[in-house]
Amino acid sequence: MGEILLYRRPGARGWGARNHVLVLPLVASASGVARALARGTGATWVEHDYEPTADNLPRNRERIALTLVGFATNPNVGAVLLVADTPERSVLLEPIRATGQQADLVVVTEAGGLRGAIEQGRARLWPLLTKTAAASRERTPVAALMLGTECGGSDALSGITANPALGVASDHLIDAGGTAVLAETTELIGAEHLLARRAATPAVAEDIYQIIHRYEAVVLAHGEDIRGANPAPGNIEGGLTTIEEKSLGGAKKGGTRTIQQVVEYAGRPATSGLVIMDSPGNDIEQMVGMVAAGCQVAAFTTGRGTPTGSAIVPVIKIATNSHTATRMQDNIDLNAGLILEGAETLETMGRRIYDAILAVAQGELTKAERLGHREFSISRYPFAVLDTPTTAR
Amino acid sequence: MAEASEGAIRGWQHPSGTGVRQHLLVIPSVICAAQAALTIVDGDPSAVAIEHQHGCSQLGGDAHLTEQVLTGLGIHPNVAGTLVVSLGCETVQGVALHRSIVGRGQRAEFVGIQQAGGTGAAVRAGREALQRLRSGAASDAQVALDWADLCVGVEGAWLGVPPGQARVFLEVIGELCRAGATVIQAASTAGVDANDWWEQATRQVPGPRVRPGTLSYATRPDGAGVYLMEAPPSRIAQKTGLAAAGAHVILSPLASGLPAGCPVAPVAHVGIAPYARPFAEDVDVMLDENPQEHAAAAVLDAIVAACRTATPLEAIGVFEMAIHRIGPTM
C-alpha cells in the first residue's frame, strides 16, 4: 500500500483527495450571494460572519486572510470562485492564483447589485466546474497525505480507546513519509511537558511551552476560568473531570513520533512528520485551521457523538464507545469502543483507522460527507488582550 | 403615516407578541447543530433556519451574550414558533436555551442530536416538531397593527452620511415617535461619544419619549419610546442585535458594504447615493445626494411596505447572521 490515487495539483499545492469547486465569500455580507449562486450547481460553498470593520486589529485581518487563502488553495479544491463586496477586498485573488490555483472573482458592487452578482457568479462558475471535472486521479506515494487529527465531544474513554488508536494510525502515516497535525492548544494544557520531550529540537520544545502558556494567559487576562468553557458540559457528563485529564487523552491522537514543528493557526507545515498547530479547541475553528494548512483528510474522535464535517475535506468519525457508535450510527464511521470489549486492540484498531484514511483519501465517502455537513468558522486572533493589556475589553 | 394608522399593516397575534411575519424559526444552539437545522427546513418555505458559528468553547460573559441573542431571536414577535436544535455537549446548552424561550411565553420545541441518535433521527424529529409548531401557529389570530404596536430598529450607518441625508433619518425617527412607535437606534460607541451625539440628534424628537442612557446590545426595551442601543460596527451584528431586542422591522442605511437581510425581521434598505446606486434593485428606497422634501415620507412608506410584503432581499432569499462577540473562542 505504498501508493494511492489522488488528484495532482499544479505548483507546490501537492495532491488532492477530492476535486471540489469552492465558492468562497470573502466577507460575511457576501455569504448570501455565495449561497444563492452555488446552490444546485455542483459547487460547494461556506458561509461565515467575518466583517472587516474598523475595530478589526491588523493581526486579526492577517489571520483571517491566511485562513481564507489556505482554505481556497487546499489541494482538495480544484478551483475557487471568490465573492467580494468591493474591489479592495479582491486582493486575496493574487496570493491564491500565485499557488497555481484556478481562481475567479465576483465583486458585488461592480456586478450591478445582488441579482447581477448571482448571475455573473454563475457565468464564471461554469468554466471552473467544467475544467475541474476533467481532472482524474493518479498514483502517488502515501507520503503526499497530510492528516488532521481532532477530538470533539470527548468523554472518559477518549484517551483510552479512540485517541490512542488514532495515534497508532498517525504513526503509520508518518512512517510512510506523510504528515499528521495535532492541534487544539487549549486541550493540550497539562500535557505540554510530555509533548516537549518529543520535540525534534529545543526550539520546538520551547514553542510547545510557549503556545500553551499563551492560551492560559489569554483566559486569565479575560478574567475567566478555562474550566468555564472546557471541559464543556457534555465532556463532564461523559466522565471527564478536568482540562488536564482531557488533554492527556487528547494528546494521544498525535501518536508517538518526534514533533517536527509548531505552526500558527492555518499555517502550512514546512516539514513532513508530526506537527502541532496552535489552534483553539473549538471543533469547527480547529478543523478549518487544519484544512487551511493543507490537510486532505481528517480523523475526528468523539465520545458524545458529533456530526460536523467540512465542505472540502472528508472527516472520518471514530466513536470512543459502542453506545455512541450504535446510537449515532448515521454519523459514526468507525467504532473504537470495540477495544474496550476485547474485539480489537489499539494496534488492530489503529490499522483499521489507517486503512480507512487511505480508502477515504482515494474517494470513499465519509458519513459526514453523505449527510452534507460543511460547518465553517474562522478563529479570530485571540491574543489581542496580551498585546495591548490596557485596552482589553 | 396614514396607511399605518388606518391599520393597513397585517399582523398576527403570536404567543410571543404581535408580529408582521409568521416565521417558524429553527435555532441551532451551537454551530455543530447548524447543518441539521438547515436540513430540517430544506424545502419548507414557511420555516427559516439561522446559521451561526458559535455556542461552544466560549468564555463566561461571551457565552451568556450568545445565549441572550439566541433567546431574543427565539422569542421575536415575528416568530410564531421556535425549534431549538442542540448537539448535547455544547457550552450554550440547547436545553437551557429552549427552557428560556418557553419561559418567556413562546411556542417552542426541542430536538437534541445526541439524544435523538444522530443527524437523520434529529432531522426526522425536527420536521415533526415543526409540524406541531405549524398546527399551533394556524390558530394565531390575524390582527391589524398600528405604529404603536411596532418597534423599528435603525442601524447606525446614517451617522456618517452628509447632513442633508442624515436629516432625513432624524425626520423619520421623529415621525415614528410621534406616531407612537418604539424606535431602537443602534450605534457603535467605538471612537465617538454616542450619548452626546444622541442627545443632540434627538432634540428634534418629542422630549418625554426619548429614553435616557443606553440599552445594552440585544436587550429588550421596557416600554415604548426612543432608545439608543450599544452595538459593534458590524452592520450584520447590528441587525442581529436589533432583532434580538425585538425590532419588528429594521431600517438599514446602505452607505458601504452590501445589503444584508436578517432571519426574523424584514430589513428596509435605504440606498445612500452615490454609493448605493449599483444596488438600486436590491434596496427598498434610494436617497439622493440632495434629498427632496418627500424623502422622509418615502422612507416611512418603505418601512410600511417591508412590514406588509416580502422585501427584495427576502424575495431572493438572502439573509445573514452575525452575533456580537466580547471574548475569544477557546
Check whether residue B98 and residue B231 sit in a common domain: no
How high is the pLDDT of residue A391? 46
CB-CB under 8 Å, B330 with A226: yes
How high is the pLDDT of residue A226? 76
Q: At CA B90, angle to CA B86 and CA B95, rounded to 5?
A: 45
Mind telling me how many Å the CA of B327 is from chain A's nearest CA?
Answer: 8
Q: Please list every residue in chain A whose beta carbon sits closer than 8 Å to the beta carbon of residue B237.
A: 49, 51
Residues 228-247 in B contacting A (C-alpha not used; CB under 8 Å): 232-237
Q: How many CA atoms lie within 13 A of B33 on its CB side?
A: 35
Nearest to A153 among B61, B89, B281 (CB): B89
B94-114 tens-digit pLDDT = 999 999 999 999 999 999 999
Asked, for residue B4, whether it belongs to a domain, the answer is no
Q: Which one-letter amino acid corresponds to residue A233?
A: P
Mind telling me how many Å the CA of B323 is from chain A's nearest CA?
Answer: 8
B80, B114, B137 - which closes a domain: B137
Asked, for residue B16, whether it belongs to a domain, the answer is no
Check whether residue B234 and residue B301 sit in a common domain: yes
CB-CB under 8 Å, B51 with A47: yes
Judged on CB neighbours under 10 Å (0-12, 13-18, 19+), B141 is exposed
Asked, for residue B326, whether it belongs to a domain, the answer is no
A235-253 tens-digit pLDDT = 999 999 999 999 999 999 9
C-alpha cell at A282: 473549538
Q: DSSP labels for A18-47?
A: --EEEEEESSGGGHHHHHHHHTTTT-EE--
B137, B169, B202 - which closes a domain: B137
In whole angstroms, give the CA distance from residue A147 to residue B210. Answer: 58
Check whether residue B149 and residue B283 sit in a common domain: yes
Mind telling me how many Å the CA of B108 is from chain A's nearest CA?
Answer: 23
DSSP A153: S
How high is the pLDDT of residue B169? 94
Q: Please list every residue in chain B whose beta carbon sits closer than 8 Å to the beta carbon of residue A371.
A: 35, 39, 119-120
pLDDT at A342 over 50: yes
How high is the pLDDT of residue B193? 63
Domain count across chain B: 2
User: Higher model confidence: residue A141 or residue B293?
Assistant: A141
Nearest to A330 among B58, B120, B188 (CB): B120
C-alpha cell at B239: 441587525
Q: How far is CA B63 from each of CA B59, B69, B138, B326, rounded to the nearest angstrom?
A: 6, 10, 34, 9
Asked, for residue B104, whether it belongs to a domain, the answer is yes
CB-CB under 8 Å, A51 with B236: yes
Asked, for residue B13, whether it belongs to a domain, the answer is no
B137, B163, B187 - which closes a domain: B137
pLDDT at A376 over 60: yes
Test the B interface: residue of A27, A29, A55 with most B CBs within 10 Å: A29
Nearest to B119 among A85, A108, A307 (CB): A307
How high is the pLDDT of residue B204? 65
pLDDT confidence bin for B6, thresholds 50/70/90:
very low
Asked, for residue B14, whether it belongs to a domain, the answer is no
How high is the pLDDT of residue B1? 45
B137-192 tens-digit pLDDT = 999 999 999 999 999 999 999 988 999 999 999 999 989 988 999 999 998 865 56
CB-CB under 8 Å, B89 with A229: no
Percentage of chain B beyond pLDDT 70 is: 92
Smallest CA-to-CA distance from B321 within B243, B210, B230 is with: B243
CB-CB under 8 Å, B32 with A284: yes
CB-CB under 8 Å, B53 with A377: yes
pLDDT confidence bin for B80, thresholds 50/70/90:
very high
Check whether residue B156 and residue B298 sit in a common domain: yes
Check whether residue B119 and residue B184 sit in a common domain: no
CATH of the domain at B129: 3.40.50.920
User: Higher model confidence: residue A1 or residue A163?
Assistant: A163
CB-CB under 8 Å, B59 with A228: yes
How high is the pLDDT of residue A56? 80
Check whether residue B255 and residue B295 sit in a common domain: yes
pLDDT confidence bin for B194, thresholds 50/70/90:
low
Q: Please list every residue in chain B whose beta carbon sits closer than 8 Å to the beta carbon of residue A332.
A: 118
Asked, for residue B324, whether it belongs to a domain, the answer is no
Nearest to B257 among A29, A219, A381 (CB): A29
- CA A253 to centroid of chain Cα atoms: 14
Q: Which residues contact A359 (CB under 8 A, 6 or more apart)?
A: none
Check whether residue B178 and residue B125 sit in a common domain: no
Percentage of chain B beyond pLDDT 90 is: 70
Residue A154: closest C-alpha in chain B: B89
CB-CB under 8 Å, B113 with A305: yes
Check whether residue B181 and residue B116 sit in a common domain: no
Instruction: Give exposure, B223-235, as e/b (b: 16+ Cβ within 10 Å).
Output: ebbbbbbbbbbbb
pLDDT confidence bin for B3, thresholds 50/70/90:
very low
B249-261 tens-digit pLDDT = 999 999 998 999 9
pLDDT at B85 over 70: yes
The mean pLDDT of chain B is 90
pLDDT at A111 over 60: yes
3-class DSSP assignment, residue B285: strand
Q: Are B210 and A30 in contact (CB under 8 A)?
A: no
Q: Which one-letter amino acid corresponds to residue A41?
A: T
Percentage of chain A beyond pLDDT 90 is: 86
ipTM: 0.89
Residues 25-64 in B contacting A (C-alpha not used; CB under 8 Å): 31-32, 34-36, 39, 51-54, 56-61, 63
In whole angstroms, give the CA distance from residue A67 to residue B2. Answer: 52
B274-319 tens-digit pLDDT = 999 999 989 999 999 999 999 999 999 999 999 999 998 888 776 7
Check whether residue B35 and residue B107 sit in a common domain: yes
Residue B34: closest C-alpha in chain A: A375
pLDDT confidence bin for A133, thresholds 50/70/90:
very high
Asked, for residue B5, whether it belongs to a domain, the answer is no
CATH of the domain at B174: 3.40.50
B224-276 tens-digit pLDDT = 888 999 999 899 999 999 999 999 999 999 999 899 999 999 999 999 999 99
pLDDT at A393 over 90: no
Mind telling me how many Å the CA of B8 is from chain A's nearest CA?
Answer: 30
CB-CB under 8 Å, A328 with B323: no
In whole angstroms, give the CA distance from residue A168 to residue A166. Answer: 5
Q: Please list every residue in chain A whose beta carbon sits closer than 8 Å to the beta carbon of residue B52.
A: 49
pLDDT at A392 over 50: no
Q: Please list every residue in chain B whose beta carbon sits closer than 8 Å to the beta carbon of residue A27.
A: 257-258
Check whether residue B195 and residue B90 sit in a common domain: no
Residue A54: closest C-alpha in chain B: B233
Residue B90 — φ and ψ, nearest 5°?
A: -75, 165
How high is the pLDDT of residue B59? 87
3-class DSSP assignment, residue B145: strand
Smallest CA-to-CA distance from A304 within A198, A201, A179, A154 is with: A154
How high is the pLDDT of residue B231? 92
User: Higher model confidence: residue A27 or residue A224?
Assistant: A27
Check whether residue B194 and residue B287 sit in a common domain: yes
What is the extent of the structural domain holding B83?
A: 23-137
How high is the pLDDT of residue A95? 96
Check whether residue B122 and residue B160 sit in a common domain: no
As a whole number, mean pLDDT of residues A228-241 equals: 85
